[in-house]
Amino acid sequence: MANEEQILAEKFQKGNLDFFTDLYNLYVRKIYEFTYFKTHHKQIAEDLTGEIFLKALENFNKYDIKKGRFSSWVYSIARNTIIDYYRTKKYEYNIEDAWDLSAKDDVGLDIENKEKIEKVRHYLNTLSSEQRDIIILRVWNGLSYREIAEIMGKTEANCKMIFSRAVGKIQQGVILVLLMLLLINLR
């Protein structure tokens, strides 16, 4: 995909707008998922995804192929757009909107999945914003450490270390919870 991405980006930068559509199609789902995971709201994620690609289109002349991949550049725009969004908004959370409850018939499965998501969310909330972003980009978006380093403005080694420490912190939290549950059950 990297070669295809680079070819499309080069052709677009030469003035052929049709190639931006191809770049959009390559990354819209991934950017939406990244945005959704950061906002937990379908409509907001859709709106922000549109805004992210509009910014990419408007600022494509600032993208330098020699400095990094298009994917890293668009993820950076996404990350900054989400940060800006949260800076400018004040929220009243509605629990029904928090994870866009589905209308499936299997309510038990929905509840079980929601509980699992809440556990993941709890452990992610124990991390710094930087650690969360690296975990999300690595685990949920499947990006390489090189791509993450480009997005975060860090070295690959630093991203690997941050990821490793974040996972270690989560593991410690899980172990502590399991030990507490064990102690409670022994009483």
Q: What's the CATH fold of domain 1-100?
A: Rna Polymerase Sigma Factor; Chain: A (1.10.1740)
User: Which spans in the chain are helix H?
Assistant: 2-13, 18-39, 42-58, 70-88, 107-125, 129-135, 145-152, 156-186
* C-alpha pair distances (Å), 79 with each of 43, 109, 129, 133, 150: 17, 31, 11, 9, 12
pLDDT of amino acid 105: 46
Mean pLDDT of 145-164: 91
pLDDT of amino acid 79: 92
Amino acid letter at 101?
L
Q: What's the CATH fold of domain 103-187?
A: Arc Repressor Mutant, subunit A (1.10.10)
- Domain map (residue ranges) of the chain: 1-100, 103-187
pLDDT at 5 over 90: no
Q: What token pair was written down for 22?
A: 């191809």
pLDDT of amino acid 62: 84
Spatial separation of the C-alpha atoms in residues 132 and 152, rounded to whole Å: 12
Mean pLDDT of the chain: 78
pLDDT of amino acid 101: 41
Q: Which residues contact 66 (CB under 8 A, 6 or more apart)?
A: none
Spatial separation of the C-alpha atoms in residues 87 and 156, rounded to whole Å: 28
Contact present, 132 and 124 (Cβ < 8 Å): yes
* Nearest Cα residue to 31 out of 1, 56, 6, 59: 56
Q: What is the pLDDT of residues 11-26, one digit of tens each?
A: 777 767 777 888 888 8
Burial of 153 per CB tally in 10 Å (0-12, 13-18, 19+): exposed
Confidence at 37, pLDDT banded by 50, 70, 90:
confident
Contact present, 146 and 104 (Cβ < 8 Å): no
pLDDT of amino acid 172: 79
Q: What token pair was written down for 8?
A: 């499309």
Radius of gyration over every alpha carbon of the chain, rounded to an integer in angstroms: 19
Q: What is the pLDDT of residues 73-115, one digit of tens each?
A: 899 999 999 989 988 876 544 443 444 444 444 445 456 656 6
Confidence at 49, pLDDT banded by 50, 70, 90:
very high
Q: What is the pLDDT of residues 108-145, one digit of tens each?
A: 545 665 666 677 677 777 888 888 888 888 887 888 89
Q: What percent of the chain has pLDDT over 90?
A: 21
pLDDT of amino acid 81: 94
Length of the chain: 187
Taking the mean position of all CA atoms in its chain, how far away is CA 127?
A: 15
